[in-house]
Structure 1
Amino acid sequence: MIDLKRNGEWILVLVTMLAAFGWVCSKQAILAMPPLAFMAIRFLSASILLIPVCLYTHQGIAFTNIPKAVFAGVLQATNTIFWILAISLGGQLGEGSFIMSLSVLMAPIVGWLFFKEKPLSIFWISLPVAVIGLAFLSLSNGWQTNINQLWFFTSAFAQAIFFIFNSRFVQKIAILPLITIQLFCTGFCCLILSILFETWPTTVSYITVGWIIGSIFVATILRWALQLLGQKYVPVGNAAIIMILEPIFTTIAGIIIYDEPMSWTKWIGCLLILISLLIYRGYVFIRTRRSSLYDVEQRSDTSKP
């Protein structure tokens, strides 16, 4: 019997591997079909498969909360569309995953703009490191930014907006119905755009079907289920640091599977972005840990006769 409380961290490590697998599935699938069509099939199928799970667990959603869930779904769809377009335009998995990880540092800016929440002081230390890292990613092109890098960056910013709003909605809405609605909205938006701007193939190979099935069941449903399970037994600070492994595993997958070239400037850029994330999330983890220990000491003192 697996002790989930002791193995929650390893579950989240597996989640980051599945996320990297999702990048590979997407890149492989869009080699044989339009990118938006693929994303429509992936997310609509996942949402439909989750509906019976919501019914089985008796998790519902109040009618007044449906607009909030749909709004979050549209934000997620925006992020997803930019992301898949970046990959379809030849974006490398390695540098793309590190650019996407910057959404963690963009989120405080979004929170400041929309909700007047001032970022932590450590944010202003980690942000310049990340900016220098982005500069080094562009150095290999002679200080020129590729269009796919701009799409990845836009997707990361859209993802930051999604994180900020979704973190508020998740406090009032059951998690499974919220995820189901968001997946459906993402798939539906991709479907509409695909019908308008893409031509669907008449047939696809069994290999492509296999990548689609893998993206639905493994990279989407299984990944989200394990992530929720892992986060249940792992402190938020620990979980946040573990999730930094996703761009690392994705970079490794890109190098091994696609032989993606990684110049020394790109390695430096990725390393600087990783350092900036460790600085920010490490500080948040230490601060949260100290705060929890202080609360325990306070409760212990007040319980003494």
Structure 2
Amino acid sequence: MITKSLQADLLMLLVTLLAAMGWMFSHEALQSLPPMGFMGVRFLLAGLLVSSVGWPQLKRLKPGAWRRAAGTGVVMGAAMLCWILGLFHATHLGVGAFISSLGVVLVPVVGWLFFRQNPSASTWVALLVAALGMACLSLEGGFHFSPSDIFFAAAALTFAVHFNLNSRFAISIPPVALTGVQLSVVGVIALLASSLFETWQQAPGWSGLGWVAASVLIATSLRFFLQIKAQSMASASHAAIILTLEPVWTAILAMFWLDERMSALQGVGCSLIFLALLINRWRWLLQRPKQVA
């Protein structure tokens, strides 16, 4: 018999794989689409798709639930805009994935600042190790951060806020309804931003449309539904442990897909960031109760 905890673990593991694939899909789609416009199309289509499936749940949502779902969607929209701009300017997706993963380290810090949660001592140790990792990455270019690094770091902070909100609201809002509302809000925000700051040079070809479709169906609709579903079955800290694998999968995919290679300094920096992710969850792992299937 598979326990509820194991189901959540397996779902979150699948989420990390889909998220890593999303980096590759988005990279390819940006060859023919502006970044914010791409995110708007991707998330609005995904939101409408999920909302159509979860329409019975949406009809039963109370006004307070609509406000909470839309509010978390706004936060998610800010995070995704920072992320896609980082990806647009990035020269190394593997490094960007590790910087974005710092949101996992920041989850308990945000919980402490805004939700009165008490982080363990390992949280502060993890922050120190992560800072050393970021210092190594900054040394690669002469002790400065590239625009993509700054966008990815901003996305990490905003993701941490969104993750805490999601874990609190996913308990009381049906996952399909919450996913549909959030994705739709992100799509609207991104399209508004695109209309203000971008121009569409040409319509994407069939190849570009294919990558958009893969992003909508696989890396967005399925990925975020499974993530919210898994978070409704486990705590934020529990789910965040599995999410530490996303940058690893992304770096591996980038190695084979884009033929990327890390320098020694980048490897040290990313390794320190990954160590910070593990330290951040080490205490929880030691205290995790055993369950009988």
Give your verdict on TM over 0.5. Answer: yes
Q: What amino acid is the match of 1:116?
A: R
- Structure 1 segment 154-233 matched on structure 2, within 5 A: 154-227=154-227
The aligned amino acid for 2:152 is: F
The alignment status of 1:115 with 2:115, answered yes or no, reads yes
Count of residues in correspondence between the two structures: 291
Q: What does residue 124 of structure 1 align with?
A: 124
Query: Structure 2: how far apart are the matches of 1:258 and 1:230?
Result: 30
Aligned AA for 1:70?
Answer: A
Looking at structure 2, the residues matched to 149 and 235 of structure 1 have their Cα atoms a distance apart, in angstroms, of 29
Structure 1 contact 36–190 (Cα < 8 Å) conserved = yes
* Equivalent AA in structure 2 for residue 212 of structure 1: V
The Cα offsets for residues 106-163 of structure 1, whole Å up to 9 and x where unpaired, read as 1222222223333212212221111111111112112111111011001111111112
Cα deviation code 1:54-113 (max 9, x no counterpart) = 135677311122222111111000000000001111242111111111111212222222
Q: Secondary structure at the match of 1:219?
A: helix
Shift of 1:170: 2.2
Question: In percent, how many aligned pairs have the same letter?
Answer: 36
Aligned equivalents of 1:33, 1:164: Cα separation in 2: 31
Question: Within 2, Cα distance between the matches of 1:61 and 1:30?
Answer: 36
Distance 2:69 2:195 in 1: 24
Q: Which amino acid aligns with 1:199?
A: T
Displacement of 1:239: 4.6
Match of residue 92 from structure 2: 92
Call closer, same or farther: CA 1:134–1:21 in 2, change over 3 Å. same
2:175, 2:229 within 8 Å by CA — same for their partners in 1? no
- 2: CA distance between counterparts of 1:236 and 1:117? 11
Aligned match of 1:83: 83
User: For 2:260 and 2:165, how far apart are their aligned partners in 1?
Assistant: 35
Q: Per-residue deviation at 1:237?
A: 6.5
Q: 1:264 to 1:207 in 2, by over 3 A?
A: same
CA distance in 2, matches of 1:172, 1:62: 11
When normalised by structure 1's length, the TM-score is: 0.86
Who is 1:303 aligned against?
none
The change in CA–CA distance for 1:226 and 1:4 in structure 2 (over 3 A counts) is farther
Native 8 Å contact 2:77 2:185 kept in 1: yes
* Gap change, CA 1:193 and 1:8, over 3 Å in 2: closer
Counterpart of 1:135 in structure 2 is 135
Match for residue 33 of structure 1?
Answer: 33
CA distance 1:167–1:229, shift in 2 (3 Å): closer
What amino acid is the match of 1:28? Answer: E
Contact 1:44/1:187 (<8 A) preserved: yes
Q: Per-residue displacement from partner, 1:208-231 (whole Å, max 9, x unpaired)? A: 000000001111122234445666
Q: For the residues of structure 2 that align with 1:8 and 1:118, how far apart are their CA atoms?
A: 24
Deviations, residues 9-35 of structure 1 (Å, cap 9, x unaligned): 555433322111100111111111111
Mark the CA change 1:112 to 1:235 in structure 2 (over 3 Å): closer, same or farther: closer
Q: Which amino acid letter does the alignment assign opposite residue 174 of structure 2?
A: A
| Equivalent residue number for residue 106 of structure 1 | 106
8 Å CA contact 1:20, 1:247 repeated in 2: yes
Pair 226,111 (structure 1): closer, same or farther in 2 beyond 3 Å: closer
What is residue 248 of structure 1 aligned with on the other side?
248
Question: In 1, are the aligned partners of 2:170 and 2:228 still within 8 Å (CA)?
Answer: no
Paired AA for residue 44 in structure 2: L
Q: Are the equivalent residues in 1 in contact too, given 2:74–2:185 (CA < 8 A)?
A: yes
Partner of 2:62: 62
Quote the Cα distance in structure 1 between the aligned partners of 2:7 and 2:271.
28
CA distance in 1, matches of 2:7, 2:112: 36
Query: Which residue matches 2:283?
Result: 283
Q: Structure 1 regions of 5+ residues with no counterpart? A: 294-305
Letter of the 1:84 counterpart = I
Following the alignment from structure 1 to structure 2, what is the Cα–Cα distance between the partners of residues 88 and 114? 31
Question: Is the Cα–Cα contact under 8 Å of residues 54 and 60 in structure 1 kept in the other structure?
Answer: no
Tell me, what secondary structure is at the counterpart of 1:289?
coil
Report the counterpart of residue 47 of structure 1 in structure 2: 47
